[in-house]
Amino acid sequence: MSGPRKRDSGLQPERTLLSWQRTLFLLIAVALLYLRIPAESIPAGVFGQMAVVFTPLGAAIVLTAHLRLRWRRTDHGLHDESLGTPPAPLARPWTLILLSVAVMGLGTATILTAVPR
């Protein structure tokens, strides 16, 4: 065996960014599909429906901005100039929590509106 292999920068950072983008796109699509439910059948009415839709949309906007800034700051995921090493993962723990809360909120609202009054 030869010495330690040099890290292959490859496409892993780009695949990570693309997977985050797909996740956020689906979150937005599901939130917009929620608008197809008639507001009269939702206990909170139109205001509740808009709150349910705009909360995941707001989370998606914040996460997209964070991921874009972090992606650019690390030279498209290739290196971190401040440390001179490969960059940390694109997602910080708070981004995972925010995404989870947005998905749970949307799921809970959908379940509550599916229950007949």
Per-residue pLDDT 10s for the chain (117 aa) are 566 656 555 666 677 778 888 988 888 888 888 888 777 777 777 887 888 888 888 888 888 888 888 777 766 656 666 666 666 666 678 888 888 888 888 888 777 776 666
Half-sphere exposure of 108 (CA within 13 A, CB side): 11
Q: Tell if the pTM clears 0.85, that is, is over it.
A: no
Helix, strand, coil percentages in the chain from 3-state DSSP, rounded to 5: 70, 0, 30
Could you tell me if 21 and 68 are in contact, meaning their C-beta atoms sit under 8 angstroms apart? no
Whole-angstrom Cα distance, residue 81 to residue 76? Answer: 12
